[in-house]
Homo-oligomer: A and B are copies of this chain.
Amino acid sequence: MLIVKKFGGSSVADKDRIFNVAKRCIEDYQAGHDVVVVLSAMGKTTDGLIAKAKEVNPRPSKREMDMLLSTGEQVSVAMMAMAMGSLGVPAISLNAFQVAMHTNSQYGNSRLKRIDAERIFTELENRKIVIVTGFQGVNKYDDLTTLGRGGSDTTAVALAAALHADACEIFTDVDGVYTADPRIVPDARKMDEITYDEMLELASLGAKVLHNRSVELAKKYNVQLVVRSSLNRNEGTIVKEDVKMEKMLVSGVAVDKNAARVSLIGLKDEPGIAFSIFNELAKKGINVDMILQSIGRDNTKDISFTVPGTELQNAMDALNAKKENFTAKQITSRENVAKVSVVGAGMATNPGVAAKMFEALYNANINIKMISTSEIRITVLIDEKEADRAMKYIHDIFDLASN
């Protein structure tokens, strides 16, 4: 069996954790499997390198930033190969050049285009554990790129697809995917299985277990993932195309507290207005979510949307600079709001879910500011300070603890 195992930065933060990971990988190796390990940079290495860069240049070139950051994973993989070596197991580390992991040229947020499998297969045939740098790639100029947030997960899934791996295990510091954040909802339950689509909705909504891009890739290449803890032997959660025959109505509740709302009020009701607004934000690379448009008064309309709280200032600056173009009478913003969502593949065919969710919020006496839905998700925007309470009420009303 060929197994790809991915460990994040906290799993390799120090000597003891490195050996913990090494031993887990060696177990599979000694059971006769081929083992490919994908690692992130150790602990807070990446943050440290970013801080170092900012010392010499507050706006460093993205190309040079990737050159700098990609050293972090290279240190991890070399250290891991040495640790396995000291345990008597042959291991070899490979960076993005050596694999090679071909990406496009978008520094800081590149996309994988192609992975050469030859070198890895050669090393596996020599019965070595192969340890690959996550997060990084090489573009057509031979320059280093990084894959952006959650990049190591993406590396692992892409490798699993390219190598036709039999399993792809994503190790984190939690046991798997829960029906809600267990720190907030104590009776949250770990799910045995979840579909790609549910995972995608949960990931984008703040359940920080798997990054969206890795799940999209897994769905595209039908790579079955297992999310499990590097700290214990629990079974974890399987992420795949279809789960049990009887789909859960609602799989889980997620909250994203890093949200802010922007409203453009009194826009002329004519074609092209929405395009000009969101084109402006896209040019600045600002992620927009939960867009709502309502007819206002006097042939005008209002457009509201949410952005990550950290990007609110950028968004407001960009919008105010072009206020005239948008014909907005007023641009307002509100911080300290949270998105609370229920996700479930079974929801698509069941119209009662939204009503039930709103009932929970009514019971909790929580006011809803915005509503947005997809096939398998319902999201409401509420005050941030009420988010945890909302989660508990929703978790209860759908009886998620007892499934």
Contacts from A to B (Cβ < 8 Å): 15, 18-19, 49, 52-53, 55-61, 63-65, 67-68, 70-71, 74-75, 77-79, 81-83, 85-86, 92-93, 95, 97-98, 119, 142-144
Contact = CB atoms under 8 A, between A and B. Distances in A.
A121 to B, nearest CB: 14
Nearest to A63: B92
Given A97-B142, A98-B143, A64 B81 contact: yes
Contacts of A61: 81-82, 85
Contacts of A57: 82-83, 85-86
A23 B56 CA distance: 13
A227 to B, nearest CB: 27
30 contacts: A15-B55, A19-B56, A52-B79, A53-B78, A53-B79, A53-B82, A56-B79, A56-B83, A56-B86, A57-B82, A57-B83, A59-B86, A60-B82, A61-B81, A61-B85, A64-B78, A64-B81, A65-B82, A67-B74, A67-B77, A67-B78, A67-B81, A68-B74, A68-B79, A68-B82, A70-B74, A71-B74, A71-B78, A98-B142, A98-B143
A134 to B, nearest CB: 15
B79 A75 contact: no
Given A18-B56, A57-B86, A64-B78, 10 more contacts: A19-B56, A53-B79, A57-B83, A64-B85, A71-B74, A71-B78, A74-B74, A95-B144, A98-B142, A98-B143
Contacts of A92: 63-64
A47 to B, nearest CB: 14
A65 B78 contact: yes
Residue from the set A58, A59, A64, A142 with the largest chain B CB neighbour count within 10 Å: A64
Contacts of A86: 56-60
Residue from the set A63, A68, A78, A97 with the largest chain B CB neighbour count within 10 Å: A78
A24 to B, nearest CB: 15
Residue from the set A56, A97, A142 with the largest chain B CB neighbour count within 10 Å: A56
A237 B52 CA distance: 34
B56 A15 contact: yes
A61 B97 CA distance: 20
Contacts of A85: 57, 60-61, 64
A103 to B, nearest CB: 15
A208 to B, nearest CB: 28
Contacts of A52: 75, 79
Given A58-B86, A142-B119, A49 B75 contact: yes
